[in-house]
Structure 1
Amino acid sequence: MSAKRGLPSTLKMRHDRHYVEELSSHTGAPIGRMISMDKLEPNPNQPRIDFGEIEELVASIREKGVLEPLLVRPSEVGGRFMIISGERRFRAAREAGLVEVPCIEMDVNDREVAEIALIENLQRKDLTPFEEADGLQVLSERFDYTHEEIAVKIGKSRTTVTESLTIAALPQDVRAICLQAGIESKSLLLQIARQPDHASMLAFASKIAQKGMNRDDARNERKNEQGRPQPYIYKYNPPGREFRLEIKFKRNEVSNEDLIQSLEAIIDELRKPQ
């Protein structure tokens, strides 16, 4: 692959080194050049679904052109290129009537394409806490990255990454309550996610939704709850088995004999003819 050419040496991309250069440091040297719009095609696995309003970007491109190159790689169809990063700029440039745009051609595989596209999506300013959390969870699970590695790649603190992944672990029914009630504050979602069990998460999310609590209201509520005697919860999660058991008592002190009697009552109930 030939050396980088075509783009001014003074041109800087908005992404820090950890974004593009770090991801492609082991690949061939990127090539910068102008590419015809009709030779570009979107990434079919683009993680971003909603590209938002692009009218302002269209107006800016009409006046100043595309200031930040698109990242592309050769397509399976000869002479064409798939967009790795910059589809929103591509759409705006097409609407602005441009016939070619500045691109950086990269020699990357499918895994790296998915990673770059996902990281670019995570660097958007308008992400909701759930969108950010889900994106980071994909990085963690699909690419097997630690919290520290993700933090380096997206340019955020490890604490931020850990908090987002905590939100990603919220059960779907709890998440549904939050979405329906418009609970979008990361602080509120974290307080819900840090409840001791599923039932407590549901109850706390419902209370926030019903009372329209803000961050401080929720914190005060948690302090009040923590000051009260908490119900006793027995958890049984045997390794290698496909079930786990959780029994929540109405009182906060339960003896082994109480627990055995409760389990026997459950067994007796299950043995009754249906």
Structure 2
Amino acid sequence: MIKAYLLGLSLLLLNTSCGQTPTAVKPEASQTFSLTGIPEGTRWPCQDYIHGYNSSEMSCLRLPEAGNGHPSVDVLIAYPDFTPAQRAKIQDAVREFGQQWEQMRAEAAAPNESSLGKCIEASASRELFAVASTWPEIARNTPAAIAWAILNVQYMFEHHANTRTILTVSPIDRSGIMGMTNLGSDTANSENGNIMLGLPSLNNSSFTGLSFSGTLLHEWLHRKGYTHPLTGYKDPDFTSTLIVAAGQCMRNRSNSYAFSLFDNSNIEYE
């Protein structure tokens, strides 16, 4: 017994002499779990939206914090009136859009300084602002136009998130277009993002989810009042507008030197 005590004491003195003060082992922090094994308080994507869609009929677009009072938001996008193959392509488009939007936010505080913004700046020279835009004439230039356009789309997403209004994508059986929507305005932050996508284009295997990610941005800019001539992709006055350049930059992942202008298809305009 004495030998054991002396042995323990000697080990204690040895540890202390090496600068190792004996400490008690701290228990790991506990975490409350529900009966499913998932931590309580876990928030699911778009959980605050009330809907009856299944997972193949919708996507939750999760947008990162944009700074200056623009928190991360969830936007529920529903597209139930399409075939399974068409819905899969729309899901891919929403996913691609979300990834590029997140990359834009991660690259720079100002959207015009991101890869996407620089691509748009290299291509856009006409109709840089929405019809009857609230942006002051004296401060209009291309970098400001790009930042303002992105902010307007952000306002649209925030409207859906704050009001828990589902953004709907509907089909339109019309050839020669990728998408269509009603012209909105940048004077109101209550514009919804509801758009239509062309069924013939969705059924065309040449057009991928990446192709339609540019269409999403294009149509959402229409909802905020941005326009282009009703000519087509072979018209330089058409392709040099901000709304067309933005869509093309997204569908080409910000590579302005690889623009696909639909020359080999029946697409006229969006």
Range into which the TM-score falls when normalised by the shorter chain: under 0.3
TM-score with structure 2 setting the length: 0.23
TM-score with structure 1 setting the length: 0.23
The structure whose residues are more often helix, as a share, is 1
